Amino acid sequence: SATGVIKCRAAVAWEPSKPLVMEEIEVAPPQAHEIRIKIVATGVCHTDLYHLFEGKHKDGFPCVLGHEGAGIVESVGSEVTKFNPGDKVIPLFISQCGQCRFCKSPKTNLCEKGWYDVMSESDTRFTCKGKKVLQFMGTSTFSEYTVVNEIAVAKIHPSAPLDKVCLLGCGVATGYGAALNTAKVEPGSTCAVFGLGAVGLAAVMGCKNAGAKRIIAIDINPTKYEKAKVFGATEFVNPKDHNKPISQVLYEMTNGGVDFSLECVGSVAVMRSALESCVKGWGVSVLVGWTDMDDFAARPIQLIAGRTWKGSLFGGFKSKDGVPKLVNEYLEKKVKLDEFVTHNMTLAQVNDAIQLMKTGDCIRSVLSVALQ
């Protein structure tokens, strides 16, 4: 069971828009229902950048970012029975308590105990230089150790390679599930995916695995098209190559609009384009990209004419149930993960990884945090 405070290295975000700083932090022992995890690997997701550079939560600092990690249980709290030291795990930013009305409904994965943003000061287990340091999205994987409630930890297959399956902690599960669970892409359909980062590429993979016939991949950065082909995209559109609205380009390409569209950028303008790219009558458009800075807008006729506009968090997967299954699907080669990883670095290089994502020169950078 749990021993004392652990001192370890973590990348601390002291304030918005500043580089992260490698610091020694203290990680408290897990409380009754908590698990202390040695993080082995973590991806860098655009949502980390959003909180650092764009989010309006200026009070969400200092914090340790990172929410796409995988690791090994170091110790467990006194009431934890389903985890043991040495178990391979993925921390989850969406919990699954199994008790609340949301967990009991098959219609959603939004457990009401979850953390989508930052934990409060009283909930964090981190301190640095005498100050409380917040846990971003309740996980904080840019740290050698973290503490997470057992309702937000998935135990995974013991042979899972942590430097790959970490991507199932956010980006890949999000995009893949958005296509399969939220859009419910149908065999033979025509799909459009806006934004070809890891989230969008995973959406492309979801469309492909659902049996879509045409998958139109859209990005303003044409270097992403080669990767999109690997995941199953059949056509590519660069909005910068056209001087008419992208929805009109897609309308002409598809004789009236696509069956399914997925916005994986995080821009309200692109969300509108994605909706307007859908065919009337039955087109479904899913918001996956994250922003809470602006309102979105569209003409009511878009929905009156039979289109559906929806969104999902974490691809609609109930997290504790879904993530171990996705890990198994990777081990069975039904889900690709290796192809998302364009850079392998160490936690100390996290600012370089952030820069690569800012400039669009990576899909996923995976940081090794500790040796297995």
Q: Which of 79, 76, 82 is nearest to 37 (CA)?
A: 76
Residue 203 touches Zn ion, criterion: CB under 5 A: no
Residue 47 touches Zn ion, criterion: CB under 5 A: yes
Least separation in angstroms between CB 229 and Zn ion = 24
Residue 264 touches ligand NAD, criterion: CB under 6 A: yes
Within 302-321, which residues bind ligand NAD (CB under 6 A)?
A: 313-314
Report d(CA 330, CA 230) in Å as an integer. Answer: 16
Q: Which of 76, 270, 341, 356 binds ligand NAD (CB under 6 A)?
A: 270
Cα dist from 277 to 11, 174, 191, 194, 292, whole Å: 41, 21, 10, 11, 23
Q: Indicate which of ligand NAD, Zn ion, none lies near residue 194 (CB less than 5 to 8 Å, by partner kind).
A: ligand NAD
Q: Which of 89, 170, 287, 357 binds Zn ion (CB under 5 A)?
A: 170
Within 29-58, which residues bind ligand NAD (CB under 6 A)?
A: 45-47, 50
Beta bridge partners of 91: 153
Report d(CA 51, CA 116) in Å as an integer. Answer: 11
Residue 289 touches ligand NAD, criterion: CB under 6 A: yes
Backbone angles phi, psi at 21, to 5 degrees: -120, 125
Report d(CA 53, CA 58) in Å as an integer. Answer: 10
Q: Which is nearer to ligand NAD, 69 or 200 (CB)?
A: 200
Cα dist from 284 to 221, 262, 266, whole Å: 25, 9, 17
Q: Which is nearer to Zn ion, 11 or 212 (CB)?
A: 11
Residue 185 touches ligand NAD, criterion: CB under 6 A: no
Q: Which is nearer to ligand NAD, 171 or 257 (CB)?
A: 171
**Per-residue x/- mask for ligand NAD, residues 238 to 257, rule CB under 6 A?**
-x------------------
Q: Indicate which of ligand NAD, Zn ion, none lies near residue 197 (CB less than 5 to 8 Å, by partner kind).
A: ligand NAD
Q: Buried b vs exposed e over 333-357: b needs ≥16 C-beta within 10 Å?
A: eebbbeebbebebebebbeebbebb
Residue 302 touches Zn ion, criterion: CB under 5 A: no
Residue 176 touches ligand NAD, criterion: CB under 6 A: no
Q: Which is nearer to ligand NAD, 27 or 366 (CB)?
A: 366
Residue 45 touches Zn ion, criterion: CB under 5 A: yes
Q: Which is nearer to Zn ion, 199 or 212 (CB)?
A: 199
Report d(CA 322, CA 320) in Å as an integer. Answer: 6
Q: Which of 55, 138, 197, 283 binds ligand NAD (CB under 6 A)?
A: 197
Residue 266 touches ligand NAD, criterion: CB under 6 A: yes
Q: Indicate which of Zn ion, ligand NAD, none lies near residue 200 (CB less than 5 to 8 Å, by partner kind).
A: ligand NAD
Q: Which is nearer to ligand NAD, 267 or 328 (CB)?
A: 267
Residue 231 touches ligand NAD, criterion: CB under 6 A: no
Least separation in angstroms between CB 122 and ligand NAD = 26
- Interface residues toward ligand NAD, by CB under 6 A: 45-47, 50, 170-171, 174, 194-200, 218-221, 224, 239, 264-267, 270, 288-290, 313-314, 357, 360
